[in-house]
Amino acid sequence: MVRFVTPLLLASLSVSAFAAQKCNSSSQCKEEKYPCCSQYGECGTGAYCLGGCDPLASFSLDSCAPMPVCESKTYTWENLDNAVTQDKYLGNASAADWTYSGKVKTEDGNLIMTMPAKSVGTLFANNHYVWYGKISGKFKSSRGKGVVTAFILLSDVKDEIDYEWVGADLTTVQTNYYWQGVLDWHNSGNITVDGEDTFNDWHTYEIDWTPEKVDWIVDGSVQRTLKKDDTYNETSKQYEFPQTPARLQMSLWPAGQASNAQGTIDWAGGEIDWNSEDIQDPGYYYATVGEVSVKCYDAPSDAKKTGDKAYIYANSAAMESDISITDNSTVLASLGATGLDMDLGADKSSSSSSSASNSIPTGSGGSGGMSGDNTSSDSGSGTSTTDGSETSTSGFTQGSPTQDSGAAGQNERVLRGSLFGVLVALVVLVTL
């Protein structure tokens, strides 16, 4: 069995001289001072310890903050009052349902995720974790070769269930799943979508996830089913089935950026046209999201339960039986705090109580990081500006700082929605 190792993506944009230690499941964070491995593969505190914090790559399993439990709720988009940028979120999912990076707005009761020219798009992530449930979203995908829209469930140990729309094919939605990030060439499946196309027509996409199976449902009709029994690995004696608490993430990202691997670009239908019709008017690629709902299912009957506020990992095997439900707090006192010391910085009474560059993961557009840091600087990175119903991150420069375009490299593709593009890229390399 091969475990997928999260790529080491981004250097800090902070004025701080701190250089984050890199981490993955075989090289954990080594310092208690910076114990949390973000989903971008760097060690830190604060937001590094919240959504996406990988307990298997962190200093210890309890370095990451406990995960807020599932909440059944329907989301509509009259405004963005229930969403905050990552530098403003400390783990209180009751105060903010969503965290986001990129430029988003609301329009006619819908959420608009945008990708301006040579940016790396938008990520919108729910702060409540789902441990089995039915997730529904009404979507109009983006369009254009190289442009990918995603609607996924992603756990902190890389269990994953996906819908992805490749803008070069507006008659199909791609589905996929992963267990602990392990690459498997046989997990994907395409669904043909009726109607004019996925950009102009509304369709409802659902993931019905139980301990026994996953159904992918389009416009009320089950189009694909994955049975847990069919994922059993005789060698490892394990079910390689998504089974750990996951966050709902919606994103728009540039798979066809010229600096990406050729396999990823080919999968996405070719290189992005940064002078396309949508870039000309309205000025960005965009995907439109209507009503989104989450219906939580009961936890497994044998789940360890001592409370009802948070999920935690009790064992590094990270299987369903290793999840406990507790009354642990999910809220950090400051951006200097961690799961090992949730109250650190409480006397400073502000999310900006830490100015270190390792308190907010540097952003990468499709997967939950914010660009910039939480310090004051000429660039304005990390501060939010609001103009009517539109909210953006000032100094939006997500992506590797080594790329002048600000767009994501191929290694970052994993964190944009699913692992499928990397699978395609590897297939291409193997066959060369």
Active-site residue identified among 164, 271, 320, 412: 164
Q: Is 163 exposed, middle or buried (0-12, 13-18, 19+ CB in 10 A)?
A: buried
Query: By three-state DSSP, how is residue 7 classified?
Result: coil
Average pLDDT, the chain: 82
Residue 357: is it exposed, middle or buried by C-beta count within 10 angstroms (0-12/13-18/19+)? buried
Q: Could you tell me the end-to-end alpha-carbon distance of the chain, in angstroms, rounded to an integer?
A: 23
Only one residue has tokens 């502000």, namely: 350
pLDDT band at 321 (very low <50, low <70, confident <90, very high): very high
Residues 149/172, Cβ–Cβ less than 8 Å: no
Report helix, strand or coil for 354. coil
The CB-side HSE value for 212 (13 A sphere, CA atoms) comes to 2
Q: Are 279 and 118 in contact (CB under 8 A)?
A: no
Start and end residues for every CATH 2.60.120.200 domain found in the chain: 69-296
CATH level 2 (architecture), domain 69-296: Sandwich (2.60)
Q: 28 — phi, psi (to 5°)?
A: -75, 165
pLDDT in tens, 111-128: 999 999 999 999 999 999
Tell me the two tokens of residue 93: 């999912």
Burial class (CB in 10 A: 0-12, 13-18, 19+), 82: middle
| Residue predicted with more confidence, 402 or 339 | 339
Confidence of residue 350 (pLDDT cuts 50, 70, 90): very low
Residue 429 pLDDT grade (very low, low, confident, very high; cuts 50, 70, 90): very low
Structural tokens at position 139: 């979507």
The model's confidence at residue 20, banded by pLDDT at 50, 70 and 90, is confident
Contact 352, 87 (CB under 8 A): yes
Residue 91 buriedness (CB in 10 A; 0-12 / 13-18 / 19+)? buried
User: Span 82-109, mean pLDDT?
Assistant: 95
206: annotated active-site residue: no
Q: Which residues pair with 123 in a beta bridge?
A: 101, 251
From the candidates 31, 32, 107, 160, which is the catalytic residue? 160
Spatial separation of the C-alpha atoms in residues 34 and 287, rounded to whole Å: 36
d(CA 352, CA 189): 44
Residue 390 known to be catalytic: no
The alpha carbon of 12 is separated from its chain's Cα centroid by a whole number of angstroms, namely 19
Per-residue pLDDT band for 271 (boundaries 50, 70, 90) equals very high
